[in-house]
């Protein structure tokens, strides 16, 4: 689409996403951010600026996905990324499960029986995604 995947590398040590690895990547990021900053500081009607920023973010998101899909990775990069993602997910699932346990224990003490539905949705959604992925990979 717009950016060249050679301008970026996947983040390895600071979360998820892309890191520019040359001046063209940094210029691309600046050109993506500049219109958002300008529109935010203009005195346009809120609906116009919201629509513009939504369209701009959609274009950037599609290009971001395009970059990720077309980025060259060797087998070692893929294996390392899979192990890192697995370990990150174990941490996230453990933290969410401990969060539910904490909320449930507080609910019992207060007799209110409330657990944050977002945490439940995250855990149940992750279970569904894992099941669908395993089903797909098994039948592939």
Tens digit of each residue's pLDDT (9 = 90 or more) over 52-89: 888 988 998 899 889 888 888 888 878 888 888 888 88
Question: Which domain-ending residue is among 19, 51, 72?
Answer: 72
Question: Which domain-ending residue is among 32, 56, 72?
Answer: 72
pLDDT-based confidence at residue 28 (cuts at 50, 70, 90): very high
- One domain for residues 19 and 60: yes
**DSSP code per residue over the chain:** --S-GGGEEE-SSSSSSEEE-SHHHHHHHHHHHHHHHHHHHS---HHHHHHHHHHHHHHHHHHHHHHHHH----HHHHHHHHHHHHHHHHHHHHHHHHHHHHHHHHHHHHT-----HHHHHHHHHHHHHHHHHHHHHHH-
pLDDT-based confidence at residue 12 (cuts at 50, 70, 90): confident
The average pLDDT across 15-32 equals: 88
- One domain for residues 66 and 80: no
The average pLDDT across 40-52 equals: 82
- Domain span at 104: 76-139
pLDDT of residue 44: 77
- One domain for residues 66 and 119: no
């Amino acid at each position: 689409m717009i950016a060249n995947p050679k301008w970026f590398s996947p983040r390895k040590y600071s979360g998820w996403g892309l890191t520019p690895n040359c001046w063209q990547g940094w210029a691309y990021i600046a050109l993506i951010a500049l219109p958002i900053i300008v529109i935010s500081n203009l005195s346009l009607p809120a609906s116009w600026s919201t629509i513009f920023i939504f369209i701009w973010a959609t274009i950037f998101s599609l290009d971001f996905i395009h970059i990720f899909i077309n980025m060259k990775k060797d087998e070692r990069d893929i294996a390392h990324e899979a192990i890192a993602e697995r370990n990150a997910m174990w941490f996230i699932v453990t933290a969410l499960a401990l969060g539910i346990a904490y909320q449930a224990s507080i609910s019992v003490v207060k007799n209110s029986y409330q657990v944050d539905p977002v945490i439940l949705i995250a855990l149940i959604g992750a279970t569904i995604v894992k099941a669908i992925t395993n089903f797909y990979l098994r039948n592939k």
